[in-house]
Structure 1
Amino acid sequence: MFLMPGLLQVGCYYFFSSQVRRSVVYGNQPRNRLDLYLPEDMNEPKPVVAFVTGGAWIIGYKAWGTLLGRRLAERGVIVACIDYRNFPQGTISDMVKDVSQGISFVCNNIASYGGDPSRIYLVGQSAGAHIAACALVDQAIKECGEGESTTWSISQIKTYFGVSGGYNMVNLVDHFHGRGLYRSVFLSIMEGEQSLKRFSPEVVLRDLKYRHAVSLLPRIILLHGTSDSSIPSNTSKTSLMPFGVPVFKLN
């Protein structure tokens, strides 16, 4: 009850603000849509955040980014909230493909909305952080291959911010099962136990055959609250440590 005024305010902004461009089409699959949040002052090209929401791979939706979009737009940043197919409409490879297409749309079209293509930042939260990281790693590997067709480049992303994400699915199966995302469902989302390593960015990047792909990645900053119980905070810490990345605790 106490949340209703705030929810109504956010809902009114989302549906009626002239600064919001809802459901911009970026692909031909269901849910291939994104929302754009534009600053009022568009006199010069603006920095851009491409945001991938969380939702346990099942209930993610682009509108979950409304509050972030509004606050950043008020500070002169364009925000693109990328929607993607959820399970059971799609499995993890579909989600990664959708998000990659959404990133491609932002990289190649944001200038027409007043964005600065040289200042694009990718942000993912929770399951969205995992999907966005998979899309980045997949793109880096493609760029290392010969004859791979790509529609965007890792070099177009200045920084990746992963918020409360999980990057090693092999180590998280039991944790999610205990939290109610049962093993059978989670493995269906991840396309079977044999695919867990493939969709674990931490595991993939430890493989020596992908050393060149690692060198292509943009700056990566992982943020994780230590009280998070949905995905333990040490998952972000252990993802960074093998690569000699410093870990800081902010009080």
Structure 2
Amino acid sequence: MNKLIYGAAVLLTGALAACSPLSVVNAVSPGGAVQAMPALRYGADPRNMLDVYRPAAGNQDAPVIVFFYGGNWVSGKRQDYAFVGRALAARGFVVVIPDYRLYPQVRYPDFLDDGAAAVAWTVRQIAAHGGNPKNIFLMGHSAGAYNAAMLALDPRWLEHQGMTRSMLRGWIGLAGPYDFLPVQNRTTQPVFNAPETPPDSQPLRHVSALAPPALLIAASKDKLVDPARNTGGLAASLRAAHVPVREVYYDGVSHTTLVASLSSSLKRLAPTLDAVEAFIRSDGGR
């Protein structure tokens, strides 16, 4: 790992821990041959905005990734994750990064309705941006991985938008919390109305043979979200339901720096970018 990558990783850890903008990662992640279409509206609330990233070559019918960022459902903004959009678009994908309402404006499950609305917008509008609406993958990190999991596993949210899970080719979770009752994190407790958190708020409760294929990635020594209980537990449940799933753990990254490894300039932290591309190119491992 060269000095630039190491230094950026150290700064990123501090930035994320302080819940500050991810300017460090964006600064060391060049845009390359990528087009960005910012501030597109998908709903009525001021937070219902999204950015689209696409290869500058303007290829048509590219696979589409809808990426949900983390932040414990209390913080985050799409502009901070431009490095994700740029890196994945440089690999030939069209990437949609939506904002969604956060606590205290909303609690569970309102942010899932926002996520479903962003996916519905993608199905209806992404062809105009070079994406294939029949080749959509959901993806998220941390709280965003939870959002992606619930949209992929629990049919209620897409049904609210007149859509079904069958329109998804797969989903990708990075360090996601999929089985966290009782809620221990004090910041998360009011988001999920603890201690009266409904059991069906947990992605693990919605595993069935109808679930789309999954790629689950975690830091092997994640200190914020237990990788054995969450990533390992969900992977085992998906396999038991005969759903295609790939389960990957990386050393040398943390819960926070795992998402940084998606940056084209920080990909040496872990081969996350390569794993995501391989999963999508293989049509979810089918």
Q: TM-score range by the shorter chain?
A: 0.7 to 0.9
Match of 1:231 among 225, 233, 238: 225
Aligned to 1:189: 191
Q: Write out per-residue CA displacement over residues 46-71 of structure 1, whole angstroms, 9 at most, x where no aligned residue.
A: 11110000011111221232111111
User: Would you say 1:48 and 2:64 are equivalent positions?
Assistant: yes
Cα gap change, 1:48/1:134 in structure 2, threshold over 3 Å: closer, same or farther?
same
Q: TM-score if structure 2 supplies the norm length?
A: 0.70
Distance (Å, rounded) in 1 between the aligned partners of 2:248 and 2:157: 32
Number of paired residues?
A: 226
Distance (Å, rounded) in 1 between the aligned partners of 2:199 and 2:62: 37
Distance (Å, rounded) in 2 between the aligned partners of 1:229 and 1:249: 14
Match of 1:167 among 165, 168, 178: 178
Q: TM-score if structure 1 supplies the norm length?
A: 0.79
Distance (Å, rounded) in 2 between the aligned partners of 1:80 and 1:229: 29
Aligned to 1:156: 167
Q: 1:151 Cα deviation (Å)? A: 2.7
- Which runs of structure 2 are paired with 1:1-251 in the superposition (5 Å)? 7=23, 10=26, 19-138=35-154, 140-141=155-156, 150-171=161-182, 173-174=183-184, 176=185, 182=186, 185-205=187-207, 214-234=208-228, 235-244=230-239, 247=247
> Structure 1 regions of 5+ residues with no counterpart?
177-181, 206-213
User: What is the root-mean-square deviation of aligned Cα atoms in Å?
Assistant: 2.9
Distance (Å, rounded) in 2 between the aligned partners of 1:150 and 1:9: 34
Percent identity, please.
26
Which secondary structure state, in structure 2, belongs to the residue aligned with residue 65 of structure 1?
Answer: helix
> Structure 2 regions of 5+ residues with no counterpart?
1-6, 12-21, 252-286
Cα gap change, 1:8/1:194 in structure 2, threshold over 3 Å: closer, same or farther?
closer
Which secondary structure state, in structure 1, belongs to the residue aligned with residue 122 of structure 2?
Answer: helix
